[in-house]
Amino acid sequence: MQKQKIILFDFDGVIVDGIDEYWHSSVLACKGYLLSKELSSNQDYNLDVSEIFSYIRPWVKYGWEMVLITHEIIKKTNPLNNKNKKNFLKNYTISCQKILEKNSWESTNLQTCLDNARQYQISNDFDKWINLHRPYTDVINFIRKAERSGFKIGIITTKKKIFTSKILEKFHIFPELIYGYESGTKVEILTNLVTKYEIKCFIEDRRKTLIEIVRNPQTKDIKCFLADWGYLKDTDRLELPKKVKLIKLKDLRNLLANSI
């Protein structure tokens, strides 16, 4: 039996720009659920996205890291700012681990705080929450064109599946598959999917993830595209492995015509 052809996408940074939602929800997670003693209880936090938060976003892999970073930005003393951000990013993973240990936090608990903050907003003001997400119109149009051309669509994201589904429904996108962070790593998910589908390509804005995919024996033949419009570091576009191609929004128009 011939396998169905499927095009796979990351979500935040590829299909939608969710930086406003991440900041808003992370602030709410810190104030309402994390209950850190380092935060001022009566401080009125500015809901405009912090420049530091936007600057650090390309290093982030999981949602819980957003809560940790937000906490460091808005805490009362020794906040994360322009003076110390480069030192924080010298070894981003170790910096995050040290903060977890210092506060006796678990990453799963921070993730739960973020999920609870999102669920609260969905339950109390869904329209306001959903409008914090700005779709990339060219990508939405490409997905619809691909579906009309007979391709299935799949989403693999580090956001929880239920939240991803609600956002996609708002844009009238109903993928064949949606995998959230609860389904495992992207390499694990793709390793399973290659046995069931003819994967035409995977479009993602995290360079490290794509490198992991092309180096994994089970997924090395998947065409991987780095989304130029996503949350990229300045160096992410440089010296890409041969199997990872940089793609711009304007390139989407020709992707189907070129049989991907």
- pTM for the model stands at 0.92
pLDDT reported for residue 46: 60
Measured distance CA(120)–CA(210) in Å, rounded: 33
Total domains present in the chain: 2
Tell me, yes or no, whether 12 and 59 share the same domain.
no
> At a CB cut-off of 8 Å and minimum separation 6, what does 256 contact?
142, 145, 146, 149, 151
Tell me, yes or no, whether 106 and 162 share the same domain.
no
Query: Do the domain assignments include residue 50?
Result: yes
DSSP character for 155? E
Measured distance CA(70)–CA(149) in Å, rounded: 42
CATH number of the CATH domain containing 243: 3.40.50.1000
Per-residue pLDDT of the chain (260 residues; tens, 9 = 90+): 789 999 999 999 999 999 999 999 999 999 999 988 898 665 555 668 999 999 999 999 999 999 999 999 999 999 999 999 999 999 999 999 999 999 999 999 999 999 999 999 999 999 999 999 999 999 999 999 999 999 999 999 999 999 999 999 999 999 999 999 999 999 999 999 999 999 999 999 999 999 999 999 999 999 999 999 999 999 999 999 999 999 999 999 888 877 67
Residue with tokens 């479009």: 203
Phi, psi of 161 (to 5 degrees): -55, -45
The pair of structure tokens assigned to 147 is 């579906």
pLDDT reported for residue 256: 84
Tell me, yes or no, whether 94 and 145 share the same domain.
no
Query: Do the domain assignments include residue 260?
Result: no
Residue-number span of the structural domain to which 67 is assigned: 19-130
Task: Give the bridge partners for 202, in sequence order.
Answer: 8, 224
Tell me, yes or no, whether 247 and 141 share the same domain.
yes
Q: Which amino acid is at 185?
A: T
Measured distance CA(148)–CA(152) in Å, rounded: 9
